[in-house]
């Protein structure tokens, strides 16, 4: 099984690098900036073979042209978005194999943050870009709350042990919000205390797991009475569905 390494980029992005032990071939996920990827590859004697892209935002795709110019690599990304340099356009139901038979991903369509956003998932790992964050979800830039709820439900249905690799180090801020949105959830409090210690030591708080997100991520809990009650207190009209609850708490989070 491949190893997964975070390459920090910009202020709070993570570019995920995948590498089979003993192999000099590497895959990166969402390379918004080519420079830190090139530095890592050079320092570790690796050749870039594949790029996986979840959505078109520049901080996830901006490094592709420079990386393709340097390496003979394949670029896989969403069929429904315009991204420079794509070699294979993917949609839900597609599967891709990388450099060995043990590295195979299936594709999920998870729109809302962007209209064509996709995820890459195998038996143990999920690369979900900016749709699902640790204790949060992405802003609704190109989609609706209903789309986001549907996308999150699709991810929440994965096995609890699935490791969640998202695009940003937002965990602490997301848990601070979750503490307000889900105030009686003791697991949120416990996770917040742990993550605060991790960030004090400049540790990476990812990956999360689907099981942990189901317990502590307010955006995966919009179908539950505690979140509905909190949303009702922040809305002129009582939310009547998980989608409406999500719309209320996402709008609240935007201003938090």
Active-site choice (30, 33, 109, 113): 113
Active-site choice (30, 109, 117, 168): 168
Is 113 an annotated catalytic residue?
yes
Is 59 an annotated catalytic residue?
yes
Is 60 an annotated catalytic residue?
yes
User: In the sheet that 25-29 helps form, which strands lie side by side, from edge to edge?
Assistant: 3-9, 13-19, 25-29, 47-52, 74-78, 88-90
Q: In sequence order, what are the residues at sequence separation of 6 or more whose Cβ sits closer than 8 angstroms to the Cβ of residue 73?
A: 48, 49, 50, 51, 67
Is 182 an annotated catalytic residue?
no
Beta-sheet pairing, 208-209 with 163-166: antiparallel
Active-site choice (59, 109, 117, 182): 59
Which whole-number Å values give the CA distances from 196 to 6, 21, 172, 190, in the listed order?
Answer: 19, 32, 6, 10
Q: In sequence order, what are the residues at sequence separation of 6 or more whose Cβ sits closer than 8 angstroms to the Cβ of residue 214?
A: 156, 160, 220, 221
Active-site choice (57, 109, 117, 182): 57
The C-alpha angle 19, 20, 21, rounded to 5 degrees, equals 110
Active-site choice (60, 109, 117, 182): 60
**Paired strand residues for 120:** 107, 127
8 Å CB contact between 246 and 129: no
Residue 36 half-sphere exposure, CB side, CA atoms within 13 Å?
Answer: 20
Is 168 an annotated catalytic residue?
yes
Active-site choice (30, 33, 109, 130): 130
Active-site choice (55, 56, 109, 182): 55
Residues assigned a catalytic role: 55, 57, 59-60, 113, 130, 168
């Amino acid at each position: 099984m491949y190893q997964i390494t975070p390459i920090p980029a910009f202020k709070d992005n993570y570019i995920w690098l995948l590498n089979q032990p003993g192999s000099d071939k590497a895959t990166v996920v969402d390379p918004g900036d080519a420079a830190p990827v090139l530095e890592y590859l050079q320092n570790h004697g690796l050749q870039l073979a594949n790029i996986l892209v979840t959505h078109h935002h520049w901080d996830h795709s901006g490094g592709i042209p420079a990386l393709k110019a340097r390496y003979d690599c394949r670029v896989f990304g969403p069929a429904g978005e315009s991204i420079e340099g794509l070699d294979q356009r993917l949609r839900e139901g597609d599967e891709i194999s990388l450099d060995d038979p043990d590295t195979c991903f299936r594709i999920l369509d998870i729109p809302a943050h962007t209209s064509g956003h996709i995820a890459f998932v195998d038996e143990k790992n999920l690369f979900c870009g900016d749709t699902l964050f640790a204790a949060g979800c992405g802003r609704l830039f190109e989609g609706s709350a209903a789309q986001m709820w549907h996308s999150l439900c699709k991810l929440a249905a994965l096995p609890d042990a699935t490791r969640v690799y998202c695009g940003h180090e937002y965990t602490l801020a997301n848990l601070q919000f979750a503490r307000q949105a889900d105030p009686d959830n003791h697991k949120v409090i416990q996770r917040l205390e742990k993550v605060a210690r991790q960030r004090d030591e400049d540790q990476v708080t990812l990956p999360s797991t689907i099981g942990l997100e189901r317990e502590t991520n307010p955006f995966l809990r919009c179908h539950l009475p505690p979140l509905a009650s909190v949303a009702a207190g922040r809305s002129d009209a009582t939310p009547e569905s998980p989608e409406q609850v999500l719309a209320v708490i996402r709008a609240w989070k935007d201003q938090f």
